[in-house]
Structure 1
Amino acid sequence: MRAYYFDNLPGDQRLQHNSGKSADLDDLRELGVLHWTIPLDIPGGWEAKIDEVAAQQGYKNRDTMNVTKEGLGELYESKLKSFFEEHMHEDEEIRYILSGSGFFDIREHPSDEWIRIHVLPGDLLVLPAGIYHRFTLDELNQIKALRLFKEEPKWIPYVRGPETEANPYRVNYINSLKGVLVA
């Protein structure tokens, strides 16, 4: 995993777009983003380590997502476009990268700058409920990821806008950054 500020220059979203300003794990933790490196070839297998993290974090369900041009066919470009639209979820977004690679961009608060996180095989990334983010593949144009969920799998994106700003999960997320205790 490597993180840095997005350069906001026009061009293919799958390119690096590295502004030259880096971000580190502490920067991500301040935004509620968690990261583990769990190599695919660790003794005992990555599955055992994922099971351990899942038990600690309360992740009960999982599935696998495979984003490739071959796999998605005619839906490939429209899916990438929808993944790259700025949105939030009412649940954590948890991904363990099995193969391929891509970028998760998260909005830093309060600056509203994008931080780009390049995920590779062995990265486990957790985005908190309520954080604005987007996803795209990189130039490899493929990723296979294990998705983990606290409850039943669901993926409902709430596109950024006035209604989403008032969403209780967004409000709780912003309050958590301010150190406000929420019920």
Structure 2
Amino acid sequence: MQIWYMEPYACGDRRLPHHVFPPKKISPDQLLQKSRVQYYKVDLDDTVAMKKRLSRVKAEWKVVSSDILTVNDNVPDWEEKLEEYYEPIVRDDDFVCMVVDGSCYYDVEPEEDEWIRCHLEKGDLVIIPKGLSHRFTITPKNYVQIQRFFTDRNGNIQMSK
């Protein structure tokens, strides 16, 4: 995972990096201190290690179900979906997700109008704490497959705007 501060008023294609100038990267530990977002790297090719990591995450975060979300330019109403995903939201419970394939961005807002962009790739797992404003978009590759984990058996995501 790569992490950096975003320019304050990003214009144009949201799938581009939108670094501040000069670029200001931060580490996963700094992200944790600043926003409480937790990060794990999961080796998806090592099934034993992957199952152990996911088992610990599921137990710690009380996960009871999951689904797979695929976002690419074959999705019906592609442009509208990207707009919807990019709208900032605040969830009523912690959000756990892992990139299974492809890449994407999760932007988090630890302070008003201060966005931090997290570039996630295959095997990156993040936990965005409840109450933290965040949004999602894809990279110019136009493809990501994400496994989302839920604390609700029906796969409902609790959120407030």
TM-score, scaled relative to structure 1:
0.79
Task: Quote how far apart the aligned CAs of 1:78 are.
Answer: 0.7
Contact 1:23 / 1:115 at 8 angstroms: preserved in 2? no
2:17 counterpart residue number: 16
Separation in 1, partners of 2:151, 2:81: 24
Q: Which has the higher strand share?
A: 2
Contact 2:93 / 2:159 at 8 angstroms: preserved in 1? no
1:26 counterpart residue number: 29
Separation in 2, partners of 1:9, 1:56: 36
Task: Quote how far apart the aligned CAs of 1:145 are.
Answer: 0.8
User: Runs ≥4 in structure 1, deviation > 2 angstroms?
Assistant: 45-49, 155-159
Q: Which has the higher helix share?
A: 1
Unaligned runs of 5+ in 2: none
Q: 1:62 aligns with which of 62, 66, 70?
A: 66
Deviations 1:108-136 (A, max 9, x none): 22x53000000000000110111101100
Is 1:81 aligned to 2:83, yes or no? yes
Contact 1:105 / 1:116 at 8 angstroms: preserved in 2? yes
1:38 counterpart residue number: 42
Separation in 2, partners of 1:155, 1:48: 25
Separation in 1, partners of 2:55, 2:78: 31
1:29-178 alignment runs, 5 A limit:
29-30=32-33, 31-42=35-46, 44=48, 46-70=50-74, 72-73=75-76, 75-109=77-111, 112-152=113-153, 153-159=155-161
Task: Quote how far apart the aligned CAs of 1:49 are.
Answer: 2.5
Deviations 1:34-81 (A, max 9, x none): 1100011125252343123212332121111111121x22x2111110
Q: Which has the larger radius of gyration?
A: 1
Separation in 2, partners of 1:151, 1:79: 23
- Count of residue pairs the alignment pairs up: 156
Separation in 1, partners of 2:43, 2:79: 30
